Homo-oligomer: A and B are copies of this chain.
Amino acid sequence: MKKPNARDRILETAGELFFQRGYSGVGINEIIDKAGTAKASFYQHFPSKESLCEAWLQEMHDRSIDYHAQLLDSGMPPRDMAAAYFTRLADFLQAGDFRGCPYSNTGAVSDENCCGIVRLIRLHKESTRDFFRRIATRAISDEARAAAIGDRLFVLYSGASSEAQNLKCLWPVEVARDAAVELLG
């Protein structure tokens, strides 16, 4: 019987619900019901729904940073790294019912005054761009060309997530993976 503290239960439950139905599609009442906590407990740990969202994005971002570092340290050739990344993306999307990128989805419903959320989205996106640039740098000697190819991989990755969500299918990810392999091969 897992019984972590209330904060962790809230964060985990909110993460699942936010991912599945979007930040604006889930209310606090549902979160605390499913997490089995009282509303007062919620507001003891999070000053607002927005700050809960920030904690969720931050947690995913931390995990993403770990994964990027792990992949870059794996010793694989860059082409295989990119292929592994896209294969994992395909698994992730399929497992999550093609809900796409949580950051982009959250960004689509948060206006400019949610500056904490917007900041985290931008942070994560820039860090993912940087990850792809690092991969490209290992495959391409010309520095400027490597940066351009890295950005290209990043754009392909984003489009693959987005269209897999819209079309509820996997081919955009496969297309992006093939393109990435060609660009790095």
Asked if B152 contacts A175 (CB within 8 A), the reply is: yes
Is A4 engaged at the interface, CB distance under 8 Å to the other chain? no
Number of residues on chain A facing chain B (CB within 8 A): 39
| Cross-chain contact of A159 among B155, B168, B178 (Cβ < 8 A) | B155
Is A104 engaged at the interface, CB distance under 8 Å to the other chain? yes
Give the one of A121, A122, A162 with max B CB within 10 A.
A162
Chain A contact residues, majority secondary structure: helix
| Cross-chain contact of A125 among B125, B148, B167 (Cβ < 8 A) | B167
Asked if A25 contacts B159 (CB within 8 A), the reply is: no
* A and B contact pairs by CB, cutoff 8 A, 23 listed: A21-B111, A22-B108, A24-B25, A25-B109, A103-B166, A104-B108, A104-B165, A108-B109, A109-B109, A121-B166, A122-B166, A122-B168, A125-B163, A151-B172, A152-B176, A152-B179, A154-B163, A156-B156, A156-B159, A158-B172, A159-B159, A159-B162, A162-B162
The interface of chain A, by Cβ under 8 A from chain B, is 21-22, 24-25, 100-101, 103-105, 107-109, 111, 121-122, 125-126, 148, 151-152, 154-160, 162-163, 165-168, 171-172, 175-176, 178-179
